[in-house]
Structure 1
């Protein structure tokens, strides 16, 4: 695995062949599920037949159970006297078919089994046993759907797939057919007669049953099922002394067997059909389990978020209504602003800091080898509190490390070069550091460019998925990430962990986890608000989240031993890493099944039930999102975009997790993906005049 390697050594082009593999696998999974849904639940074929519209022709309405239909009319036949043909419909059934075969063997009798293609594919060993013990096999259609009401597409598939299933399971081909949901010949009325005619044109001999009014001495075909009742009725007939012999349909008619050996192409096609059906059944079964896991994890996560966020809010209210932080923090602050090609937003970022109510600042803009006007714009901000540092391009962690070496204050604030601060955000952000056990504070990041649909989706994610999470993390004492957009740190805490590491692509997560492991607490200050620009295209969003997710996996792997440690490190490991594993890795890997299952249910199952489950998940998310927006003092009108988020945005984030996990397992390293800025966070820069600065200009340092 490539989870703990140096981020700066990332490959520029991670391998893409696993996407090709995924594109090959997905059609197989989709086709198998569609096939499973069609064969198991049916689409246009019913389990109950339609009412007859007209009777069968008089030439066939003579009570004879065997019919061969031609353009000239119907040829019928019946069993010879004292001959009974036992026929069993459906199956093979893993419980009752073996018992029926044992019963027939004890009575030295032969029978004809009309089998479902689906069941034959699932139980090929039973089909072979039926064949090997000398019984005759006929077709009962593939799914047992009513052939009279089947569509022009479904009808031939019912017959051809049944033949393929028999060829694949036992290497046989049959020309015997019983139409599902029919008994005696006169039930082949209406649409069933047309279906029987079409089957006869394809060479099938259509077999019905003899009326129960006809007694065994006259010769009968009896119709039973693979059930306890069928077993009992067959046993009763086998014990009837008036029956002279029990024979298969073909044998009783004096014809050669209509069950013959299938050709090699038919057998190959049949084996492929069996594999596809087995795969579809396995995928559907796995989907059921994954749906249960995803549903349980999703509900547990939302419940934890809502309940623990409420606990955090109450704690803060009690805290503020009683004693404030140990004392008000007014110490000088060094702000580190790493920047690479950030000309669109760097000026707004720095000016928002200069307009802060906390004036004792050292602002270090670290130009990481920018090729645009980033450094020039920062130099043009003539304020002695601003220092521009230059280094060759070597990545954000190294830029922060350089800035830290020039910092002269004990409180360090790290921000992104596109972050715009509210005037009081900096002062509010550092107040929790009055508690000496706290090593870092996460601020409240809000989405600036939330006008479009993609922006609204990310706005909801920041409020629901990030800020609500942080409230919960604070209560559980396991905050995994202080965001790079706005975070405050004690300098001695950074020194204790050896500074900012470039081991991962998520240096903020790595840094936060390292603080827990040296016993320093991390808290969330929701009143410290900063505005950030989020990706404006799906491509940019993919690259950003890919880096975040992969970097988080790297950090989790790097700090995995925390689960065995004591104190704050152990609490973080057992709570934080477990939560991330379950809800940021396992849940996204299983969550697509919720949507697939809903679609599968709508197409093949109980549509109402499937929609009810999906809408139930949506309702829970809407309630939780509304609560999160209320806590963040955001308008509820953004909720209209949440249902739409489930169709595109959420799927993209799932794919990001899948891609990240696969990339990690393949041992691939990623490069740092930079987002193109448009400076949209500038609109949140308040145009209030800042305190008059001294006349000296900004300083500049080159390395």
Structure 2
């Protein structure tokens, strides 16, 4: 019994848990990033004018001062002291303008109040700490600059709580001062604004509005900013300015002249609390608040990092996809021009056809009859590998001349093929799966390249026979577009990594020189092909050698087949990794073939989940039209490849209508297969041979059946 069949199959479930956790964490990070960067208002505070009824706003508030305590049934407000001004700055901190504002205030000996946005504090915590360290007062301007008047209750709480935690984590202080974005003077409050202010008070906040708006966000010119900021009387003011949100040059120039002018009029500058005459509201945060705040800050930074990494992965996946499309199409076009190139004198010598069979009774008759009906002289050797369904008896009962059966105890497919090789009568050998039906000229076409003595193996053109249903169509598309386009490229680059078990021709002497077939991998066809390349033989593709194979008819069967293929390919790549540093034909396999497999059959599928997650992120938080156009562009690229590949293979393009649907089921299954295979390989586990279920859907082509009779 082969090593692959003796090996215990170890169930691998932990990696799926890990993968699920990673995807959950990634999705959570993207949701956080999307919320903090794409679900808040980007317009300046004054650009949004509050509208709506005012009847619910208490008169004491509407006609009162700019600092509002909306406590219970008796809300209160406070006005600034005469000839006292609190300069307030919204929307920061900003890495360019906040330091310049702080430098100017320090030079003028003025203390101000900064209402900061939580997301900006996360981005620039050092500036927030500087604001506090230099004696300025600090307040919150929500987490994401959200309009609290139109926000739901849960979002209001989130905006205020997260802002407070971030401040605690970044500066170690907590503040009850709040300036709602898009607010202005008390008399402009609407019922919705008042509801938001009461909600904020329930969370412990004092609302700070304004009495004078510099309108610096409009950038009307320095003179106009000064005029807007200059008090018209000796009454105290809370002046609104900005240290972020765009070019603040006019703000700085206005402050440079405004502060000395107001000092000359005997105005005093103070923080908001000093201006209205209340005790210092800012106090040290607790250790718990600081810890939770730091956790929020790091979560946001990780979300930013995750998006950065995901963006680069998306670029990498896109570049690899485009590169593969261009490379394969260009290679296929060149390969098509050489379609009728002659290898030399026609090969007419007989061929030994080996059919390894294990419980193949469903399709073995059609396979054997099609081989016996070949228009090239053949002997057919069916090696029954311990079947329990009467496969050998069925073949013998056919009584077809030139067909013989060899029975052996179950030892695995490689051992069955080696048995067939020992019994073969001829130098040229064709290996055929027991579920494959050959066209009458397939053997003849398959052996013609052997006219070139450097050719050691030939890959034929395997086509899906059971194409009905979506799964069948998708596999048909994959065979024509994926496998066959790749084989044309490998042929031109002289680095063919796989001659498929369904239809492949070999020199018997070449196989004997490398010791026959090995059972150390689950992809014996890939292992064998790579071994031939490393031994100096050339492996080519003959598209005219057509054979029809039965593809899996269920997702479970497809999973098992592709899992074996992918895992076996990884085993073969690792086994033959030395080809990367060798010369000659072996070096071509390594540096061309193995590199291609690594990038396009391992790394690209591994990037696919990131692409899907980013697409969902884009539809949720970015411009869905733009994201949809990018997706449509890649789909158009795949459709273009599909139409070209179908035309080269002489296939009708009808099944390509299902290609868009393939992106939502089949592609995910294929990249999950790769992920499972990679984890299995990294874990060092071994798999048993996983035989595909046969359905008996293959039939002998009419012409073949007539010849057989």
5 Å matches for 1:377-396? Answer: 377-396=394-413
Q: What is the distance in 2 between the residues matched to 1:616 and 1:70?
A: 57
Please name the residue that 1:700 is paired with. Answer: none
Please name the residue that 1:346 is paired with. Answer: 364
1:681 to 698, 701, 707: 698
5 Å matches for 1:407-486? Answer: 407-486=424-503
Q: What is the Cα deviation at residue 129 of structure 1?
A: 3.4
Does 2:55 correspond to 1:38? no
Q: What is the distance in 1 between the residues matched to 2:115 and 2:702?
A: 78
Q: What is the Cα deviation at residue 144 of structure 1?
A: 0.4
Q: What is the distance in 2 between the residues matched to 1:196 and 1:685?
A: 84
TM-superposition CA deviations, 1:294-344 (whole Å, max 9, x none): 111101111111111011101224x2xxxx331221211111111222221
Please name the residue that 2:353 is paired with. Answer: 335
Q: What is the Cα deviation at residue 43 of structure 1?
A: 7.6
Q: What is the distance in 1 between the residues matched to 2:317 and 2:349?
A: 47
Q: What is the distance in 2 between the residues matched to 1:46 and 1:415?
A: 69
Q: What is the distance in 1 between the residues matched to 2:99 and 2:654?
A: 63
> Are 2:81 and 2:277, in contact at CA under 8 Å, matched by a contact in 1?
no
Distance 1:542 1:238, change over 3 A: farther
5 Å matches for 1:90-489? Answer: 90-189=91-190, 191-211=192-212, 212=229, 214=231, 218-227=235-244, 228-229=248-249, 230-240=251-261, 241-242=263-264, 244-317=267-340, 319=341, 324-358=342-376, 360-489=377-506
Does 2:39 correspond to 1:21? no
Task: Pick 1 or 2: higher relative contact order, CA cutoff 8 A, min separation 6.
Answer: 1
SS at match of 1:682: coil
SS at match of 2:238: strand
SS at match of 1:222: strand
Q: What is the Cα deviation at residue 255 of structure 1?
A: 2.2
SS at match of 1:588: helix
Please name the residue that 1:53 is paired with. Answer: 52
Distance 1:31 1:466, change over 3 A: same
Deviates more, 1:17-26 or 1:73-82: 73-82
Structure 1 residue runs of 5 or longer lacking an equivalent are 693-703
Q: What is the Cα deviation at residue 264 of structure 1?
A: 4.5
5 Å matches for 1:488-507? Answer: 488-507=505-524
> Are 2:364 and 2:434, in contact at CA under 8 Å, matched by a contact in 1?
yes
Distance 1:275 1:371, change over 3 A: farther
Q: What is the distance in 2 between the residues matched to 1:598 and 1:186?
A: 45
Distance 1:256 1:471, change over 3 A: same
> Are 1:447 and 1:531, in contact at CA under 8 Å, matched by a contact in 2?
yes
Please name the residue that 2:226 is paired with. Answer: none
Q: What is the distance in 2 between the residues matched to 1:688 and 1:44?
A: 74
> Are 2:40 and 2:144, in contact at CA under 8 Å, matched by a contact in 1?
no
> Are 2:557 and 2:692, in contact at CA under 8 Å, matched by a contact in 1?
yes
Deviates more, 1:279-288 or 1:160-169: 160-169
Q: What is the distance in 2 between the residues matched to 1:44 and 1:338?
A: 68
Deviates more, 1:334-343 or 1:563-572: 563-572
Alignment coverage as a number of residue pairs = 682
Please name the residue that 2:539 is paired with. Answer: 522
> Are 1:563 and 1:570, in contact at CA under 8 Å, matched by a contact in 2?
yes
Q: What is the Cα deviation at residue 447 of structure 1?
A: 0.8
Q: What is the distance in 1 between the residues matched to 2:162 and 2:548?
A: 61
> Are 1:531 and 1:684, in contact at CA under 8 Å, matched by a contact in 2?
no
Q: What is the distance in 1 between the residues matched to 2:454 and 2:337?
A: 21
Q: What is the Cα deviation at residue 387 of structure 1?
A: 2.2
1:614 to 631, 649, 652: 631
Q: What is the Cα deviation at residue 6 of structure 1?
A: 6.1
Deviates more, 1:578-587 or 1:634-643: 578-587
Distance 1:20 1:595, change over 3 A: closer
Distance 1:54 1:213, change over 3 A: farther
TM-score normalised by length of structure 1: 0.91
SS at match of 2:339: helix
Deviates more, 1:603-612 or 1:394-403: 394-403
SS at match of 1:409: coil
Deviates more, 1:402-411 or 1:250-259: 250-259
Q: What is the distance in 2 between the residues matched to 1:54 and 1:556?
A: 72
Please name the residue that 1:577 is paired with. Answer: 594
TM-superposition CA deviations, 1:541-574 (whole Å, max 9, x none): 1221112112112222222222222222222222
5 Å matches for 1:689-700? Answer: 689-691=706-708
SS at match of 2:580: helix
Q: What is the distance in 2 between the residues matched to 1:135 and 1:542?
A: 64
Q: What is the distance in 1 between the residues matched to 2:630 and 2:522?
A: 38
Q: What is the distance in 2 between the residues matched to 1:246 and 1:44?
A: 31
SS at match of 1:673: coil
TM-superposition CA deviations, 1:207-263 (whole Å, max 9, x none): 122213525954322222224334444444444423654322123333233223334
2:620 to 583, 603, 609: 603
> Are 2:211 and 2:238, in contact at CA under 8 Å, matched by a contact in 1?
yes
